[in-house]
């Protein structure tokens, strides 16, 4: 069940609010003034704060201002209890980030409804935040997988290019020797080398084409999973 902090200096109002909420099954803590309320909010991280406006030490506006400036308490739903219903006062609280107002005297039903609405909205907001967070993590994982695939393809192509260089070097040497050789036996030997190296080159190009067709994201992921490629 949700944990609620009540900040109220009038003992009768405080007891009334605490009793109503406890009957609803909430875990309720309370503070007698604004300074103590700020300290308790930071320490306990309640799910909802109900706070009077006119209090000694630190009024409700000061409490709300301090809580909204602290990242650990900035998003806690906040309901003001007030005997003041002036438009200017209401606007001041809303500008500071209050979520709702209850004007004294209020009924138990009004209190329960205000609390239920704020907690439902907070739960919906947290659910949406969690969904967005999971979506962002999914995008991050997918981006990393795509980058891994790109890296694997680049490594594969680099290795294939290096493997192709050896036959080409041999072919180049054989061509130079063939051009400079006068003996028929030597020329035949160099021609044999050319044929063999050309066959190797053609075979490697064919293998590269076949492997390139197999290098789909799904196949690369599977090959990496079973460590069939490095």
* Separation CA 118–CA 110 (nearest Å): 12
Q: Is the pLDDT higher at 223 or at 52?
A: 52
Rounded mean pLDDT, 181-193: 75
Express each pLDDT in 57-76 by its tens digit: 899 999 999 999 999 999 99
Q: What is the pTM of this model?
A: 0.61
In a 13 Å sphere around the CA of 131, the CA atoms on its Cβ side amount to: 6
Question: Residue 6's pLDDT is what?
Answer: 98
The chain-wide mean pLDDT, for the chain, equals 82
What local confidence, expressed as pLDDT, does residue 210 receive? 67
The fold of the 3-106 domain, in CATH, is: Rossmann fold (3.40.50)
**Share of residues in the chain with pLDDT > 70 (%):** 80
Class of domain 143-225: mainly alpha
Residue spans per domain, the chain: 3-106, 143-225
Q: Per-residue confidence at 28, pLDDT binned at 50, 70, 90? A: very high
Of 53-57, 67-71, 202-206, the one with minimum mean pLDDT is: 202-206
């Amino acid at each position: 069940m949700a944990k609620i902090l009540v900040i109220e200096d009038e003992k009768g109002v405080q007891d009334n609010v605490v009793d109503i909420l406890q009957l609803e099954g909430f875990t309720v803590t309370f503070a007698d003034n604004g300074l103590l309320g700020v300290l308790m909010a930071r320490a306990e991280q309640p799910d909802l704060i109900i706070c009077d406006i006119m209090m000694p030490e630190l009024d409700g506006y000061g409490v709300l201002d301090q809580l909204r400036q602290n990242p650990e308490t900035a998003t806690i739903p906040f309901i003001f209890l007030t005997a003041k219903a002036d438009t200017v006062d209401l606007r001041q609280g809303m500008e500071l980030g209050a979520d709702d107002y209850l004007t004294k005297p209020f009924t138990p039903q009004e209190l329960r409804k205000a609390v239920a609405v704020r907690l439902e909205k907070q739960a919906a907001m947290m659910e949406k935040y969690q969904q967005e967070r999971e979506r962002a993590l999914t995008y991050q994982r997918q981006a990393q997988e795509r980058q891994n695939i790109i890296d694997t393809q680049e490594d594969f192509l680099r290795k294939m290019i290096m493997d192709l260089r050896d036959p080409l070097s041999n072919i180049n040497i054989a061509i130079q020797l063939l051009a400079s050789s006068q003996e028929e036996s030597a020329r035949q030997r160099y021609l044999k080398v050319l044929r063999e190296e050309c066959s190797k080159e053609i075979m490697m190009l064919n293998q590269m084409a076949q492997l390139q067709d197999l290098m789909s994201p799904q196949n690369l992921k599977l090959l990496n999973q079973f460590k069939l490629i490095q």
